[in-house]
Structure 1
Amino acid sequence: MINTAFQIDYLKPDDAESLSLLMRSNREIFERFFPNTLQQNLSVLDSRNYIEKKDEEIAKKEEFTFAIRENNDQSILGLVILKNIDHNIGEGELAYCLDSDYHGKGITSSCIKQAIDFAFDKIDLKTLKIIAHKTNRGSIGVALKCGFQWKKTIQKAYRPPNEDFLDMELYELYYEG
C-alpha cells in the first residue's frame, strides 16, 4: 500500500536548518551513495547555498530536487532528485534518500510515484531510470513497487568514497500515456 500522508515539493530557503539536520543525522547511511549531497549540507549555511543552487537548476530545467515532507509538517524527511535529464531523448534518472527513522513505511514509494507523475506530465519525459546497488534492497523494492523493471547490470558504474567501483543495477520505467 502506498502511503499518501507524504508529499514532495521544492526546497524553500527556510528549509536550510531541517535539510542540514537530515543530512547530518543520517550521515552514516548517506555518505556511501549520497556523498556529494551530504557534503553540500553539513551546515545550515551550506544548505542555504545548496537550496539556492537547486532553485537555479529548476529554473533551467536541468535538475529537480524535491523535499519529502509529511503533509502536516514542514520538516524534511528525505529528498527525491530528478537528475541526468536529457530533454532531447526524454530521459531522466531518479535518486532518493530518506531519514532512517522512516524506512519501511511506503513513504519513498509514494513520493517516487509523485515524482514519476511530475516527470511524465510536467516535463514530458518518456523514460525514467533508477540505478541501485544490488545490496540496497529498500531502493530496489521502491523501484519494483513503482513499476520499474530491471534492465541490466552496469559494470563499474559507481565509486563510493574510499571504495572500489561497484556494479549497479539499472531499472527503467516508460511513459505509457
Structure 2
Amino acid sequence: MIFDFDHYFIEPIQEKDSWKLCDFVVSNADRLKRYFPRTLEQNLTPDLSKYFVEKKVKQFLTKEELLFKLKHKERRTIIGLVYIKKLNRDKRQAELAYCIGYQFEGKGWMSQSIQALSNYAFEVLDLKALQIIVHNTNKGSIKVAEKCGYTWQTTLKKEHSPPNEPALDMELYELYC
C-alpha cells in the first residue's frame, strides 16, 4: 500500500485485480468511453482484464508506466484509477490521467489522490514536471487539477481523438517541483 486514507487506499495495480478492474470499467463504461477508450476496450471481459493487468504490472516494474488503483476499504472494490504515464526521464516529466467511479465523485478523494501521487512522482520518481491534459467540458477534472496546484498552460489543438468523434482540443495543466 502506498497511501492509506480514511475510506480508501492507493496502491499499484496487481495481477489479482483483474476481475475487480473489469467490474470497475464495465460499471463505469459511459464515463470511460470518451477519455479512456483504450482502458475500456482492454477491460470489457475478465480475460481481457487479465492480459491488461499483466502488462501494466510489467510496465510498473520497469517504470515505463505506473497504474495505481484506488480501492474502497469496506467494499474492497476498485473505485478509481490514476496513471502516471508518458514518463520522460530526460525531461524528468510525466502525465497524470485519472478517473473515479460515478458513486464516488464529489467527495474530494481524487483531489487527495492526485496530490499524494504528485508528491510521489516528485519525491520517489525524481520528476520535476507533471502534466494533466483535460477537455474544457470536464469541470470535475479541471477542479482536481487546480485544487492540486496545477496551472493552465495552453490549449493543445486536436490532442485527443475519442472513438467515432473528431479530434478534440484539450487543455494542458502543469505542476513543477
- Could you say which TM-score interval applies, normalised by the shorter chain? over 0.9
Write the distance in 2 (CA, Å) between the matches of 1:65 and 1:84.
12
Count of matched residue positions in the alignment of Structure 1 and Structure 2: 173
Q: Give unmatched runs, 5+ long, in structure 2.
A: none
Match of 2:80 among 78, 81, 93: 78
Give 3-state SS (helix, strand or coil) of 1:128's partner: strand
Superposed displacement of residue 17, structure 1:
1.2
Instruction: Say whether residues 1:169 and 2:164 are aligned partners.
Output: no
Give the secondary-structure state (helix, strand or coil) at the position aligned to 1:57. Answer: helix
For the residues of structure 2 that align with 1:29 and 1:115, how far apart are their CA atoms? Answer: 22
Q: Higher relative contact order by CA 8 Å / sep ≥ 6: 1 or 2?
A: 1
Assess if the C-alpha contact under 8 Å between 1:8 and 1:114 holds in 2.
Answer: no
The question of whether the paired residues in 1 share the 8 Å contact of 2:15 and 2:57 is answered with: no
Aligned to 2:54: 52
* CA distance, structure 1, for counterparts of residue 17 and residue 172 of structure 2: 32
* 1:71 Cα deviation after fit: 3.9
Q: TM-score, normalised by structure 1?
A: 0.94
RMSD: 1.3
Superposed CA offset, 1:93-129 (max 9, x none): 0000111111111011111112112111111000000
Deviations 1:136-168 (A, max 9, x none): 000000000000000011111111100011110
Alignment of 1:17 with 2:19, yes or no, is yes
Cα contact 1:57–1:64 (8 A) shared by 2: yes
Equivalent residue for 2:34? Answer: 32
Contact 1:22 1:77 in 2 (8 A): yes
Gapped regions of structure 1 (runs ≥ 5): none
Does the CA-based 8 Å contact 1:7-1:114 persist in structure 2? no
Runs ≥4 in structure 1, deviation > 4 angstroms? none
Per the normalisation by structure 2, the TM-score is 0.94
Question: Aligned letter for 2:17?
Answer: D
Partner of 1:133: 135
